[in-house]
Amino acid sequence: MSLTAQELGEKLSAQFPEAFAAAVEFRGEITLKLKDPAKIAEVCHFAKKELGFDYLVDLTSIDNYGEDPRWTVVYELYGMMTHRSYLRIKTDVGEEKSELPTISGVWATANWHEREAYDMMGIRFTGHPDLRRILMWEGYPYFPLRKDFPLAGKPSEMPDVAFTRRAPLEGGPFVTLAGGKDSMEREPRVRTPEE
C-alpha cells in the first residue's frame, strides 16, 4: 500500500523537524513551508531519494511586492513511478539576499526552471551550472515579472540588442475589463489610459 500525500509530508517534516512550519492541506493537496531556504537542496534530495518524488513538476516564484520577504519560491513535486502523490514546498527569499541553493543536481529539469526564475524575477540560484537569462537577452537590466515592472515595459538603453524602444510589451498591455456590457467589451486588447 502506498503512502498518501499527507503521510509523505509528515515523513519529510519528521526528517527535518525544525525546518518546516505546520503542513497545510487544501482540497487534498499538501503544502509544506520551509523556514530556512538554505536547506532546500537537502530537503529536495531527501524527497526524491527516500520518498519517491521523482518528478519536479514546476518551480515558480511569487512576488510579494511591498512585503518582506519579497519572494516565495514554490516547488511542485510528484511521485510518478511510486505513489502518484503531489507535494508542494514553499520557501521565502528576501530582497537583500535573493538567492537559494540550486536543486538542478536533484532534478535536471530544475535547470531551466531556475533560469526562468532568475531571468523574470532576479532570484539567483547558487551552484547552478549555467545561470544565465533564458527569455530576455544577456545584459537586459530589468526583471519583467516583478510587480514593480510597468506593464507597458521600459525603454532599453542598449543599441544593437533586440530593440531600443519600450520592452517587452511595446504599445501597452493587453487588458481585460471586468464586467462590461458584452463579450466584445471584455475582450483583451491594448487599452489607452482613458479607457
pLDDT of res. 167: 47
**Considering the entire predicted model, what is its pTM?**
0.80
Average pLDDT, stretch 103-117?
97
- The ranges assigned to domains in the chain are 5-143, 150-195
Average pLDDT, stretch 68-76?
96
pLDDT of res. 151: 76
Q: At residue 97, what are phi and psi to the nearest 5 degrees?
A: -130, 75
Instruction: Give the percent of the chain with pLDDT over 70.
Output: 79
Cell of 137: 537577452
pLDDT tens track for 45-60: 999 999 999 999 999 9
Are 100 and 37 in contact, with CB atoms under 8 Å apart?
yes
Q: Is the pLDDT of residue 132 over 80?
A: yes
Q: Is the pLDDT of residue 187 over 90?
A: no
Which CATH superfamily, name and number, covers 5-143?
NADH:ubiquinone oxidoreductase Nqo5 subunit (3.30.460.80)
Are 32 and 75 in contact, with CB atoms under 8 Å apart?
no
Other Cβ atoms within 10 Å of 3 Cβ, number:
16
DSSP 79: -
pLDDT tens track for 21-32: 989 999 889 999
